Each structure stands twice: as C-alpha cells, then as structure tokens.
Amino acid sequence: MGGFSSGEVGEVPQPHGRVGAQAQLAKAAISGGNPVELRPELFLTIGSPLALPRAVFERLLPSPQGSAPALRGARPPGVTRWVNIADPGDPVAIPPGLGGFFDGVALDHTTVVGFHYLRSSTTAAILAPYLG
C-alpha cells in the first residue's frame, strides 16, 4: 500500500484539490497504527480499493483473518462508524461491497455517482451531521 514512512504526510491528487494529512491518517488507521490515539466518529471510504484481491486486501496490516476464501478484515481501531460509498462502475472500487470483506462497516452504499463522489447527494447526506 503506499510509500509513506513513519511521521511523513503524503499528498494524494484529488479532483478538488489535494488531500494531505488525511491520506496518512487513513493509512495509519487501516494498518492498525494510531500514533496519536485518534478516535474518529466517522471513517468514510469513497471509491475504495481496500477489498481488491492480491493488490491490496491481502497486504493490509493487520492482515485479514480467517482462511481463504473467507478472509475478513476489520474496522480500523478507534473508528466509531465506518461508511463506504462506491459507484458500481468505478474500476478502482472493486470488488464492490466492502462489508463483504470487512467486519464493522456500518453502511456500505453502492450508488451511481458518475465518479463525482464529492458532489453526490449520498456523500453530502453522510457528512451533513458532522459539518454542523
């Protein structure tokens, strides 16, 4: 997954600017590392490839548990609620349905957003309670 070293903040190109610390925090949460004991209320994955076999899923740390084909990943430590949004036509968000691969996904929403995740009403509805 990635080429971040400990303490480094990476930047990921996004259609609406750049995301810096979020990429590192998400990587830390997914890998089980939580250096500052973060307790996010919401962990939102959008068009996520986390369940992609061989390229991502089996390489996660901590490793998914169980035996193939029933391997299961877990919700990142410290996360209160995990919501996943994926467009069924998104070639990165494959396979669809993170809840089928991870324990602790509260809502696994598959909807056609035309790759405009950040402008979709689904994303807005999920984020609205957290935006005050």
Quickly state the pLDDT bin for 67 (edges 50, 70, 90).
confident
pTM: 0.70
In the prediction, which pLDDT does 12 show? 38
Tokens 């740390």 correspond to 61
pLDDT of 5 strictly over 60:
no
CB-hemisphere CA count at 13 Å for 19? 12
Quickly state the pLDDT bin for 123 (edges 50, 70, 90).
very high
Is 59 buried (19+), middle (13-18) or exposed (0-12) by CB count in 10 A? exposed
